[in-house]
């Protein structure tokens, strides 16, 4: 039986359009690598409206859903499949709180994000979603 706290997990990072526009992809990726994550897949894409709506479907009843979809389609993003022991929780800790104003010093959102809506990166929120979201953007063959 696997201990979910210590097993090898996958989690999905999206470097969001605000961070790509600011050309801070390199700094964000370096912080992720320095924290011990392995990159299994990475590509730059532009989400269309239907993909963005589907990816964030869990938020479809929230008042910010329309704004979130239009932000996520506003420019290219970098999607990265990450792997590491305890990847989901460790990556959430590395990116910090949703609102950069509340994020801890040294976290990716504290350093690179401007606001709660334009917050530089996405991170999966559970082991199950780490698998689902990685599969949303990558086929098994694309994961090295």
Q: In what order do the strands lie in the sheet with 77-85?
A: 38-45, 77-85, 8-15, 121-123
Q: How far is the CB of 97 from Mg ion (least distance, A)?
A: 11
Query: Is 9 near ligand ATP (CB under 6 A)?
Result: no
The pattern of x and - marking residues 66 through 105 that bind Mg ion according to CB under 5 A reads ----------------------------------------
- Rounded Cα distance between 36 and 71, Å, is 30
122 among known catalytic residues? yes
- Rounded Cα distance between 116 and 14, Å, is 15
- Rounded Cα distance between 23 and 19, Å, is 6
Q: How far is the CB of 119 from ligand ATP (least distance, A)?
A: 5
Task: Name the residues that contact ligand ATP, by CB under 6 A.
Answer: 59, 64, 67-68, 98, 116-117, 119, 122-123, 125
Q: Which positions are catalytic?
A: 122
């Amino acid at each position: 039986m696997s201990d979910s706290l210590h097993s090898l997990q996958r989690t999905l990072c999206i470097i969001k359009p605000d961070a790509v526009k600011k050309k801070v992809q390199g700094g964000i990726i370096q912080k992720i690598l320095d924290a011990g994550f392995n990159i299994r897949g990475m590509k730059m894409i532009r989400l269309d409206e239907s993909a963005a709506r589907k990816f964030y479907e869990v938020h479809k009843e929230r008042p910010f859903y329309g704004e979130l979809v239009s932000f996520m389609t506003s420019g290219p993003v970098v999607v990265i499949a990450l792997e590491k022991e305890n990847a989901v929780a460790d990556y959430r800790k590395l990116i910090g709180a949703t609102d950069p104003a509340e994020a801890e010093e040294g976290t990716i959102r504290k350093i690179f994000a401007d606001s709660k809506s334009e917050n530089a990166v996405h991170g999966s929120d559970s082991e199950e979603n780490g698998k689902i979201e990685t599969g949303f953007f990558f086929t098994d063959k694309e994961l090295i």
